[in-house]
Structure 1
Amino acid sequence: MSENNNKKLFKYRMLAPLWIAIFIDVLGFTILFPMVGYFSDVFNTSQTVIGLVFSVNAMFGFVFGPILSKLSDKYGRKPLLLISQFGTCLAFILTAFSNTLWMLIIARMIDGMFGGNFPIAKAIISDKVPPKDRGIQMANVGIAHVLASLIGPAIGGFLFTLFGLLGPGLFAAGLTVITIIVTLSMLEETWPKEKRLHNQQSKTEIIVKVRQNKNALFMLLLWGFHTISFTIVMSSISFFSVSVLHLNPLEVSFVFMISGIFRTGIRFTLFKPTIKKLGESNAIRLGLVMFFVSFFIIGFSTDAVMVSFIFLFISFAASLTRGPMNSKISQTASPKEQGKINGFSSALDSIAQIIGPLAGAFILDTLPPYWLGIIVALIALPAMVMSFQKIEKKKYDLAVNLINHSMEK
């Protein structure tokens, strides 16, 4: 790696504790999530019902995610991030000891209520990183997912095989305790009291509502179509592995782990050169085209090798799109509204997480598997089309927004 790339990689060292916390948090999720396809056997119910349980989780996240994000604008990022992490820890503990479907539902509700980790993390990045570097730094959240997926599924499959739900649940809770310690002892407050007071007292800028910010609305709509299609596929993989590929827990964890190895290789070899060569906007367009094609094909997959191969392309597409698109969304709002705008994008993620598990499980329960690919590709199509409408110009412009604001009064 060149000296220049090294400088870029370590440019924002104050965010290192955030990356550690996100990695550990995601690791807890990747330990538990690949086993979701077997929950229907554990609780003696259908995959659709299990999908509904995880949709309930996202329903609570949809309601409480923006609230926690907005509170982080008022009271600071670190206290609200810690509250979210404590809630996540409690949810993992309850999941571990769930012996009835109702206990699992309560655990998922609590997890949704305190699911502000990622919107607050995105606000922290927006606080410290200027727009020109924000896409790369937002993509580091994807790196956390990639690295966690290398070991999380294998740990989850091993613990689930030996101890049932108790093993991965308690292990994930223990990891969350480490996340809390890292956040408490190492992460600095990026939205300190003096900035919050200045924000409340300043009258020089009229805060424009998102519905009056056309650039923000456009990017949020594009993100909505993308994240719904992406989440349906990702939340269906465990169900797909069980009901279509007929894999056991260790085989499912192996598929997830192999996919993680592929994703790591892609993320650390192709991502930066592609972004540098194409630019963020063209990289987003390429990624959304790859998503559309991959989503369509995955419904026709009949073996684990083919699914793993498709995930090569999905992983590359995710690297090209999700971090850079979050950066684009953050650039459509003023610096004082980063918590709010990231809360809206996370609310769309929550809507996707409401739809995804239920829709994916229902399709696989009631229709031939190829319908999963067809339906998801149709949902991904509008995002792909919208991306060709000069998204590089969709940025926050105070003068334009004030004109729109005054015209609508």
Structure 2
Amino acid sequence: MIVFVDVLGLGITIPVLPLYAQDVFGATATEVALIASIYFAAQFVAAPQLGRLSDRIGRRPVLILSQAGSFVALLLNGAAPSLGFIYLARVIDGLTGGNISVAQAYLSDITDERNRARGLGVINAAFSTGFAIGPAFGAFAASQYGPRVPFFMGAVVSLLTISLSFFLLPESLTPERRQREAAENAQRASRSRVQMLRSPAVLLIVLIALLVQFGFFGFQSLYVLWMDQVVLAGNSLPYIQQVVGLIFTLIGIIGILSQAWLVGPLVRRFKERTLVRGGVLLTTLAFLFMALFPSLPPVVVTASARAVA
């Protein structure tokens, strides 16, 4: 529930933030892309530290801290008097953005090996469901009430997750288990990451993931502006926001259906290596198809294919 509500609050802002920065503060495409880059850079620095902190002091306080950071960031976005406040909000959100990974660690604490996969699947389903509902809701709110309103709506949702964590969520990591986790982490730390990357298989997996995510997030950061200036050029801003929100919702729904009914049977039939190759190929073809045919029907088809990939 906490993951669902948290991702719902994030999803509300996805179709709104790029056009909000462009239309209200006059941000260029480069400045809009920098908004996303700052967030991920801050998360890259902070996420491992938040994980280690949760091993030392427990999952619950770190979950509340990360949710409080999202709450502050959403308020800053909604009340921002200048583009600099948008950047500040993204830094705060990135530095405290470890709630999903800590929630996964929480589930690992309270499940055994037999039902751990099912528990993590519940988190993935909650993530996809929140992502399916949030963008459409945020786009509708922005088109009806203005671009600042979705951020305040997201803040209200974020405050709900903080309340759920504070009043209803027990700590999953007992003091005894914290000591054991600390000892295991110290042992793992003795293995150099550089040594792990010397393994050709590990290095190849990391490289594939890096290139795929580089292409995806590089495009995603400017996706809304691309829709505004190329695919839906000449249409009203409320219409563009609603279309983008519905496309993101479609992606979330297809992601849920794929995880529920496609991944398991396909893995059993074709194995992981074939699926990785197929996913990368389908992603490449989807991006190429969007570039060659920048109109709404092909974009909807390729977004669906990208969600499956």
Q: TM-score, normalised by structure 2?
A: 0.84
Aligned-pair distance for 1:47?
2.2
Instruction: Indicate conservation of the 8 Å contact 1:124/1:190, yes or no.
Output: yes
Residues 138, 218 of structure 1: alpha-carbon distance in 2 compared, 3 angstrom cutoff: farther
Residues 283, 203 of structure 1: alpha-carbon distance in 2 compared, 3 angstrom cutoff: closer
CA distance in structure 2 between the partners assigned to 1:139 and 1:293 by the alignment: 28
| Structure 1 residue 213 corresponds to structure 2 residue 196 | yes
Paired residue for 1:118? 100
3-state SS of 1:299 partner? helix
| Structure 1 residue 109 corresponds to structure 2 residue 91 | yes
Find 2:24's aligned residue among 30, 42, 64. 42
CA distance in structure 1 between the partners assigned to 2:250 and 2:203 by the alignment: 38
Aligned-pair distance for 1:92?
0.5
Residues 310, 139 of structure 1: alpha-carbon distance in 2 compared, 3 angstrom cutoff: farther
Residue pairs, 1:86-105, within 5 angstroms: 86-105=68-87
Aligned-pair distance for 1:201?
5.4
Find 1:288's aligned residue among 280, 292, 296. 280
What CA deviation, in whole Å up to 9, does each residue of 1:49-74 have, x standing for no partner? 12212322222222222221221222
| Structure 1 residue 22 corresponds to structure 2 residue 17 | no
Aligned residue identity for 1:68: L
What CA deviation, in whole Å up to 9, does each residue of 1:190-249 have, x standing for no partner? 332111213445799564232222455554343322322222233332122112112522
Find 1:223's aligned residue among 196, 205, 209. 209
CA distance in structure 2 between the partners assigned to 1:142 and 1:89 by the alignment: 22
Find 1:238's aligned residue among 221, 224, 229. 224
Residues 223, 192 of structure 1: alpha-carbon distance in 2 compared, 3 angstrom cutoff: farther
Residues 193, 33 of structure 1: alpha-carbon distance in 2 compared, 3 angstrom cutoff: same
Aligned-pair distance for 1:96?
0.9
Instruction: Indicate conservation of the 8 Å contact 2:67/2:99, yes or no.
Output: yes
Instruction: Indicate conservation of the 8 Å contact 2:47/2:95, yes or no.
Output: yes
CA distance in structure 1 between the partners assigned to 2:185 and 2:33 by the alignment: 47
274-283 vs 129-138, greater mean Cα deviation = 129-138
Aligned-pair distance for 1:95?
0.7
Aligned residue identity for 2:55: D
- Matched length: 298
Aligned-pair distance for 1:168?
0.2
CA distance in structure 1 between the partners assigned to 2:175 and 2:203 by the alignment: 30
**Aligned alpha-carbon RMSD (Å):** 2.8
What CA deviation, in whole Å up to 9, does each residue of 1:89-120 have, x standing for no partner? 11001111113112212211211221111332
CA distance in structure 1 between the partners assigned to 2:8 and 2:265 by the alignment: 27
Q: Which structure 1 residue ranges, 5 or more long, are not aligned?
A: 1-19, 318-409
Instruction: Indicate conservation of the 8 Å contact 1:36/1:239, yes or no.
Output: no
Paired residue for 1:152? 134
Residue pairs, 1:156-171, within 5 angstroms: 156-171=138-153
| Structure 1 residue 53 corresponds to structure 2 residue 53 | no
Q: TM-score, normalised by structure 1?
A: 0.65
